[in-house]
């Protein structure tokens, strides 16, 4: 479990002693530096690193980094809100020792996610990891709920020797094909070894649909740990691939057309150790709370996409009939609805049942995405929202999904087709904005608008190229 206690100047009780012992142990294992990792509002992973001997100082006093990254764009230019984007001020990065791992794919390095705290020792309202801890804490206090989450990571393996920033797939062979598994077998075996060494329980690795595409799925954890893990998985995939001469892209769309890279989120709500998505009186074993939680996410999905699919490139991926889930609909094991109710197989449903949210990609900040999804679900749960009827088949083909009128009666509609529309939905969603708080909500709006301005006039291929290598 992730500690829900905020970092404090001087260190949480016992932490400095723990860090001192740990840094000696790490040095003995050949570690020289610790990567302090977080994800900015635009979804870009940002880091500072410290020598291993500075770990105790880092947990006591943090490591300086400007708050300006809250309004950085993916191209490293800066936008502003009324309180963010100024060159003034400083924040302190506090590593979470519970999540520190020695990086198997990067000899000499350890890694830890950070919370960002003001110089006065206060929570930084723009810190997305702190935001997710707050959402999880409030859910426990107000509703007696805990959650389990996992992020599926899809990525594209490209040849490292391709000229410039062009994309040449690192594999041949068809989707899910044995050819690809053999061609990249050395690299993916090393990835499995690195994940195991880092305590990541991998469920599957497989060649995916699009050229050069692969996917890794990992076990579920508490929400903060799951978000941390998704960042670590990407760091590991990239590092291992690079050692094999490959370049990696987690961008939602590596090229202008075709299937993109998703970052589907699996989420389940639990009370007193019982999974609310199983063993209930509702559809497919959902309890009334799980149905309302699902209804809440469904109702907020158009606005949520500003958080879960935040890049102009996200909208190249969010197209019908590409398994990205672009309709506000749910279905049982349906790959084309935004929400897939996963019941698991007989014998393990009490543990395995969950909700899969598909219109999420890896340009999304995972802390913001998971926290916003939980906030939306809790809104449904609190208001006892009714879950509309299920959808079967592909909603893009009404003949399969029932008549167009029947789909409309169930509230099935296309998610925003542009980032601009998504931002307008987000702006109009008081529940989500209140959950994020004004500083983060304004940062989301300003950064999305900044991204839109930065791609004005570009065609799909140029948009894909602009974001191909940043995530
Ligand atoms: N690549 C698809 C996406 O963009 C998902 C494929 C799958 O269901 O695994 O979401
Ligand atoms: Mg997949």
Looking at residue 4, its pLDDT comes to 85
State the chain's mean pLDDT as an integer.
96
pLDDT at 121 over 60: yes
Domain ranges of the chain: 15-122, 139-467
> Quick one: average pLDDT of 42-61?
98
What is the Cα–Cα distance from 351 to 240, expressed in whole angstroms? 32
In ligand 1, which atom is closest to the CA atom of 358? 10
Looking at residue 273, its pLDDT comes to 96
User: Residue 95: which residues within 8 A CB-CB, separation 6 or more?
Assistant: 34, 36, 55, 58, 59, 112, 113, 114
Measured from CB, residues less than 6 Å from any atom of ligand 1 are 154, 209, 215, 259-260, 262, 317, 323-324, 335, 358
271-305 pLDDT, tens digit per residue, is 999 999 999 999 999 999 999 999 999 999 999 99
How far does the centroid of ligand 2 lie from the alpha carbon of residue 215, in Å? 6
What DSSP letter does each residue of 29-80 carry, written as one string? Answer: TT--EEEEEEE-TTS-EEEEEEEGGGHHHHHHH-EEE-GGGGGB-TTS-B--
82-95 pLDDT, tens digit per residue, is 999 998 999 999 99
Q: Pick the more confident residue, 411 or 343.
A: 343
> Which residue minimizes the CA distance to atom 8 of ligand 1?
323
> Quick one: average pLDDT of 7-29?
96
Is there a common fold for 15-122 and 139-467?
A: no
Tokens in use for 449?
Answer: 């608008």
CATH code: domain 15-122 is 3.10.20.70
pLDDT band at residue 400 using 50, 70 and 90 as cut-offs: low
Class of the CATH domain delimited by 139-467: alpha beta
Percent of the chain with pLDDT over 70: 99
How far does the centroid of ligand 1 lie from the alpha carbon of residue 305, in Å? 16
350-371 pLDDT, tens digit per residue, is 999 999 999 999 999 999 999 9
> Quick one: average pLDDT of 237-250?
98
How far does the centroid of ligand 2 lie from the alpha carbon of residue 202, in Å? 14
Exposure string for 112-147, b = 16+ CB within 10 A, e = fewer: bbbbbbbeeeebbbbbbbbbbbbbbeebeeeeebbb
DSSP code for 97 = G
φ/ψ of 438, rounded to 5, equals -65, -35
124-175 pLDDT, tens digit per residue, is 999 999 999 999 999 999 999 999 999 999 999 999 999 999 999 999 989 9
Exposure string for 413-443, b = 16+ CB within 10 A, e = fewer: eebbeebebbbbbbbebebbbebbeebbbbb
């Amino acid at each position: 479990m992730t500690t829900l206690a905020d970092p404090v100047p001087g260190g949480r009780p016992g932490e400095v002693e723990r860090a001192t012992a740990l840094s000696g142990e790490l040095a003995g294992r050949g570690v020289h530096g610790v990567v302090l990792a977080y994800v900015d509002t635009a979804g870009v992973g940002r880091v500072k690193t410290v020598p291993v001997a500075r770990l105790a100082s880092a947990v006591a006093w943090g490591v300086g980094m400007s708050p300006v990254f809250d309004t950085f764009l993916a191209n490293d230019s800066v936008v502003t809100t009324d309180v963010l984007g100024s060159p003034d001020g400083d924040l302190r990065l506090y590593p979470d020792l519970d999540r520190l791992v020695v990086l198997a794919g990067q000899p000499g390095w350890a890694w830890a996610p950070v919370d960002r705290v003001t110089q006065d020792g206060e929570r930084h309202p723009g810190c997305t990891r702190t935001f997710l801890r707050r959402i999880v804490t409030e859910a426990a206090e107000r509703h007696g709920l805990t959650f389990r989450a996992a992020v599926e990571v899809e990525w594209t393996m490209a040849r490292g020797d391709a000229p410039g920033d062009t994309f040449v797939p690192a594999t041949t062979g068809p989707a899910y094909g044995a050819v690809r598994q053999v061609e990249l077998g050395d690299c993916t075996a090393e990835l499995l070894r690195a994940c195991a060494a880092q305590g990541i329980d991998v469920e599957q690795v497989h060649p995916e649909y699009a050229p050069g595409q692969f996917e890794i799925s990992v076990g579920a954890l508490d929400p903060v740990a799951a978000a941390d893990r998704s960042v670590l998985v990407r760091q590991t995939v990239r590092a291992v691939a690079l050692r094999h001469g490959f370049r990696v892209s987690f961008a939602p769309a590596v090229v202008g057309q075709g299937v993109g890279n998703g970052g589907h989120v699996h989420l389940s709500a639990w009370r007193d150790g019982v999974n609310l998505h199983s063993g209930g009186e509702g559809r497919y074993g959902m309890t009334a709370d799980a149905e309302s939680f699902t209804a809440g996410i469904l109702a907020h999905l158009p606005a949520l996409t500003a958080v879960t699919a935040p890049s102009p490139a996200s909208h190249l991926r969010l197209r019908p009939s590409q398994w990205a889930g672009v309709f506000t609909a749910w279905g049982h094991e349906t790959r084309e609805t935004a929400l897939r109710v996963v019941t698991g197989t007989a014998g393990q449903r009490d543990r395995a049942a969950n909700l899969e949210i598909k219109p999420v990609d890896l340009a999304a900040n995972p802390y913001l995405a998971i926290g916003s999804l939980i906030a939306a679900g809790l809104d449904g749960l609190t208001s006892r929202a009714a879950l509309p009827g299920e959808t079967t088949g592909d909603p893009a083909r009404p003949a399969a999904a029932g008549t167009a009128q029947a789909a409309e009666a169930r509230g099935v509609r296309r998610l925003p087709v542009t980032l601009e529309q998504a931002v307008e939905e987000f702006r109009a969603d008081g529940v989500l904005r209140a959950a994020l708080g004004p500083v983060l909500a304004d940062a989301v709006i300003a950064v999305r608008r900044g991204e839109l301005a930065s791609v004005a006039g570009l065609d799909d291929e140029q948009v894909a190229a602009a974001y191909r290598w940043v995530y």
